[in-house]
Homo-oligomer: A and B are copies of this chain.
């Protein structure tokens, strides 16, 4: 199992709308996450910054992320939600959320 931490900015004017969508996530996009071996996924917010923590239990992360990106419902979700976010300028090629470096872990 691999743990991921990712970060992105949220445009302040969309905070309430973003929270509302995530308090009532679509069953199909949630199902797709599980199908792609994502578990224990939590998003936190503070002062215009979103932090996501999740665990990946599969053995082909890139393949699973590609599968997820091909899902029409997930694409619709992103079309709605991505414009509310503002990715960091120095993110890696192909990233939207920026991956963080794990520096400590305790089971």
Contact = CB atoms under 8 A, between A and B. Distances in A.
Interface residues of A, number: 38
A97 B44 CA distance: 14
Number of identical monomers bound together in the oligomeric complex: 2
A88 B38 CA distance: 31
A42 B5 contact: yes
Given A5-B53, A7-B46, A34 B103 contact: no
Given A51-B51, A53-B53, A44 B106 contact: no
A43 B103 contact: yes
Given A5-B44, A41-B106, 15 more contacts: A5-B42, A18-B103, A23-B104, A30-B106, A34-B106, A41-B104, A42-B102, A42-B106, A43-B102, A44-B100, A44-B101, A46-B99, A47-B88, A50-B103, A53-B53
